Amino acid sequence: MKLNREFCNSCDEGILNGTDLKATEKKIRYFQAKIDGLLTSTEIRKVREKLKLSEKQAAEICGDDPKTFRRYERGEATPQRAISNLLMILNNHPELLPELIR
């Protein structure tokens, strides 16, 4: 990934900004999720789509806010382990979904 950076005049250290910073943060979250055994943003979206849930429905099942859930899918935030685990369970056992829908 080619990045546009600004450099410090004193130490010549590169500083990311703008879209490069956001893209880098998303990649870091992706790899950190893999290391921590959490679902990645792509996996979260795939599970939701597999279960045929809207973002709002998925957020309600997870006890989260729809805006926050959308941020998980965009790679802008990392879900708590409990949310990731719940989605993994539902991915492997979709027959449990009716138990969670009110």
Tens of pLDDT, residue by residue over 35-58, are 989 999 999 999 999 999 999 999
- Position 22 scores a pLDDT of 78
Range 2-11 average pLDDT: 72
- Position 39 scores a pLDDT of 94
pTM comes to: 0.78
Closest CA to 48 of 90, 3, 16, 99: 90
For domain 5-100, the CATH superfamily is lambda repressor-like DNA-binding domains (1.10.260.40)
Range 65-91 average pLDDT: 95
Q: Which two tokens stand for residue 3?
A: 């990045």
pLDDT band at 85 (very low <50, low <70, confident <90, very high): very high
